[in-house]
Amino acid sequence: MDITVYLPDEIGAWAKAANLNLSATLREAVLGLKEREDTQSETLKGAQEFEIEALNGDGRKYTARFTGARVVCGDVFDVYLTEAGDVIVQNNDAHQNSILTFDPDDLDAESLRFTGRDYVEACHALGITPVIDL
């Protein structure tokens, strides 16, 4: 398919000076997005409604309700993908039963103290290649 893509002058000049193959770059980016969306759609097959108990920042209990799929059931964290495309991470620590909502791109093993296995499992279910610092 032949399409036209607009780039601002500064970015277009930089790409030309860098001798970038813009066609291949765009094709790879679009293919990556498609693969990620396909993976997330597959993960959400059979999505169900969840109600999970949590504590807010003031220590008050509430029930979070959403439709999605659980992608990790870990020792400390459970990870869900919602139909809206958000990632919900529930910290099951008895003193810190909290829920955090992320864009999939912001999921980070170190800040969430995920074990390597849980992080890798969550990333693959979300169509993301995990990055682990060694």
17: DSSP letter: H
Q: For helices 22-43 and 116-126, what crossing angle results, to 10°?
A: 110
Q: What does pLDDT average to over the chain?
A: 84
In this predicted model, what pLDDT tens digit does every residue of 76-96 receive, in sequence order?
A: 788 899 998 888 888 776 555
pTM: 0.74
Report the pLDDT averaged over residues 10-14: 93
Report the pLDDT averaged over residues 122-130: 84
SS3 labels along 76-105: CEEEEEECCCCEEEEECCCCCCEEEEECHH
Q: With bands split at pLDDT 50, 70 and 90, how would you rate the model's confidence at 110? A: low
Q: What percent of the chain has pLDDT over 70?
A: 86
Q: Where are the domains of the chain?
A: 9-42, 44-126
106: DSSP letter: G
